Structure 1
Amino acid sequence: MYQPAITGHGVFTPTQVITNDELVVAFNAYAERWNAEHAEAIAAGEAEPMGPSSSDFILNASGIEQRFVMDKDGVLDPARMYPRLPARPDEAPGIMAEMALDAAQKALAMAGRSGTDIDLIICAASNHERAYPAIAIEIQQLLGAGGFAFDMNVACSSATFGIQAASDMIRAGSARAALVVCPEICSGHLEWRDRDCHFIFGDVATAVLIEPSEAAKGPRFDILSTRCATQFSNNIRNNDGFLRRTHDQMEDRRDMQFMQNGRKVFKEVLPLVSSHIAAHLHAEGWEADDLKRLWLHQANKTMNDFIGRKVLGRTPEPEEQPNILQDYANTSSAGSIIAFSKHSDDLTEGDRGVICSFGAGYSVGSVLIERRARPPANPQ
């Protein structure tokens, strides 16, 4: 049995940014157009007028200040309100594969590895740009990696579920070096015309490299334990799929994009996640005071603040529970990994932390890690 460790990590960030103010201007222009087009129905009491959004509303509801996207112009066009990401020829690399490749190369560079060292790739994301061939296999080809690759979808928990799967295979010896990549084009499945959710998501890609700890060439984070759980719920749902498209090709199907019952999600997910982390810590003999850092799923600042208080038994210090939500918005499975990647270099030998993601399913995954700043006894 081998001890799995995170030896490298990387983040791909799109170059285009949409601030709350920019988004509000576009949404309110769309709302005005919609109200004008439905003026008669509104006057007859057959339809409710669409209310405006505001930057204060977005910030108070979520803690989000901006988001990175793959295409800004399409989202901010009031006559369109979704990104322009045309389909590519079959022989051209896919968008998700290109995003993941950038993040993966950064993770490999950090670990002193190359694509040929990799024999397992898991593409873990909440939405995939095609059904098959797997995005992971395309990434495998672009990297020049060997072994095998597959896609995984557990919505916002995809990264931690992917880390558990990769860690188990490293531990068992069925893989020697694994990449878990999370390319998330969340802007493509968000309904930007819905005031209740139009501000939530952004685009990004992350990667973590997992190897046996003794094979590391430098500092790493030993993965001491992983735990995943699921519980069925319709409160976060996306019905997009080939059956829906086949039978309802010409309809504007609102349920084929991100939908959620936010109040129920808050009520049900918060205790689920808090108890999950607490039980995981207890099972491994860890105390809350052992934790130097919590890298939580970046969905909503209020949710993270609640979970942090429940887990630690007090209000976390900002450095104990870093948020990247204000800059990146909700990036689905990638959020906790962005937080980890950008807020982990300062940890020292023996420092402990938890990576936790949660979302649709419901699903929740937690990864207990410990910093190893000193090189292994026999580095490979």
Structure 2
Amino acid sequence: MDATHRPVISATGLYTPPETITNAELVDSFNEYVRRHNAEHADAIAVGDRPALEPSSVEFIEKASGIKSRHVVDKASVLDPGTMCPRIPERANDELSIMAEVGVTAARQALERAGRAPGQVDAVLCAASNMQRAYPAMAIEIQHVLGIDGFGFDMNVACSSATFGIQTAADYIRAGNARSVLVVSPEITSGHLNWRDRDSHFIFGDVATAVLVEDAAMAPADHWDILGTKLKTVFSNNIRNNFGFLNRAAPEGAGQPDKLFVQEGRKVFKEVVPMVAAMIVEEADRLGIDPRSLRRLWLHQANAGMNRLIAQKVLGHEASEDESPTVLDTYANTSSAGSIIAFHQHSGDLVAGDTGIICSFGAGYSAGTVFVRKAG
């Protein structure tokens, strides 16, 4: 590969909403909703026409997921038993959209950390699990606000959007079609979570991340070489969200459960863990890397049990917190941003020559791996 067309990660950025919801707060809200629902439908429940809803608990949430809290853009409305979803006021067309707002904040931090001026960036990819509109692209709005004279487009591969975006950006670098590309992932997941579903009401949190992928020839000295990337998709209905512009006008609207996040969690666990572990090992072998020598795994932050098993299959032993750090406990599942948060917060202590992997997996199924090595 021509050295002038070698992609690297120059910097990352992170925006964290200031409001936090603990498991205890979430359980109090959910259980009050359950109490009201069961009281309202007491007669139907008594004769067996409608099942009673079961309450949630802090112990259930932490055992099922490892999550202890999450950040959201609208705490009050999520915790209101009469609402239980974020109420984000619509903005006029000449106002900055909420996704662009949080995305721009993360992007500016990445640019600042790399010492990069917006005018030196060629493209913006907005890679996220749900977009707040069909067009204009969120990426183009972010590009406009930052003052980038280039191009941008949106891409959605659910929880793997960021890693798919990184490979896409790296391919632009390798082909010589760009020298600097921002991959921005504004994940306002609270908007497509069913906060009234006991099995999933605790899963998601809001955040925004940014990854600056650049030609090594212009990157700062403190960067990460991209050794290789691998993407994989396998169709599955086990994680699904049916909301979209083709059904928005249906009489039932977005209030139906399948217009929000739904999943068959046990099936996802059983099918995704071996698929992702095998993908990592096979790609490491192709790159001439002993997977057991990986210094750190920045895995998708969806479920603590899944990450533990994947890391064990890759490393050949139970991974320590140092080898496979988690941000799931305080951020919850932030879709495509999760592995990027882990990388952003837990990569500064590595030294030149250390090798690791950024990995995501989610609906699709989709999975992405980005093998990186600290430059020196």
TM-score by length of 2: 0.98
Question: Aligned with 1:9: secondary structure?
Answer: strand
Contact 2:292/2:314, CA 8 A, preserved across alignment: no
1:378 aligned residue:
none
Residue type matched to 2:52 in 1?
P
Structure 2 residue matching 1:370: 3-state secondary structure: strand
Q: Distance in 2 between matches of 1:244 and 1:260?
A: 20
1:49 aligns with 2:64: no
SS in 2 for 1:244: coil
The answer to whether 1:188 aligns with 2:191 is: yes
Q: Secondary structure at the match of 1:208?
A: strand
Q: Quick one: which of 115, 120, 123 aligns to 1:120?
A: 123
C-alpha separation in 2, matches of 1:199 and 1:35? 21
Report the equivalent of 1:363: 366
In the alignment, what sits opposite 1:225? 228
- C-alpha separation between the residues in 2 aligned to 1:109 and 1:282? 35
Q: Sort the Cα spacing of 1:5 and 1:250 in 2 relative to 1 into closer, same or farther, 3 A.
A: closer
- RMSD of Structure 2 on Structure 1 (CA): 0.9
Residue 249 of structure 1 deviates from its aligned partner by 4.7
Match of 1:76 in 2: 79
Mapping 1:1-380, distance limit 5 Å: 1=2, 2-250=5-253, 252-372=255-375, 374=376
Number of residue equivalences: 373
- In structure 2, what residue type is equivalent to 1:308? A
Partner amino acid, structure 2, of 1:69 = V
Secondary structure at the counterpart of residue 212 of structure 2: strand
Between the aligned partners of 1:124 and 1:251, the Cα distance in structure 2 is 23
Q: Percent identity?
A: 57
Secondary structure of residue in 1 paired with 2:275:
helix
Report the Cα distance in structure 2 between the residues aligned to 1:369 and 1:345, rounded to whole angstroms.
13
1:36, 1:114 → 2: CA distance? 59
The 3-state SS of whatever aligns with 1:245 is coil
Runs of 4+ in structure 1 off by over 4 angstroms are none
- Partner Cα distance (2:151, 2:252) in 1: 35
Task: Letter of the 1:128 partner, please give it.
Answer: M
Q: Distance in 2 between matches of 1:109 and 1:242?
A: 37
- State the Cα distance separating 1:176 from its structure 2 match: 1.0
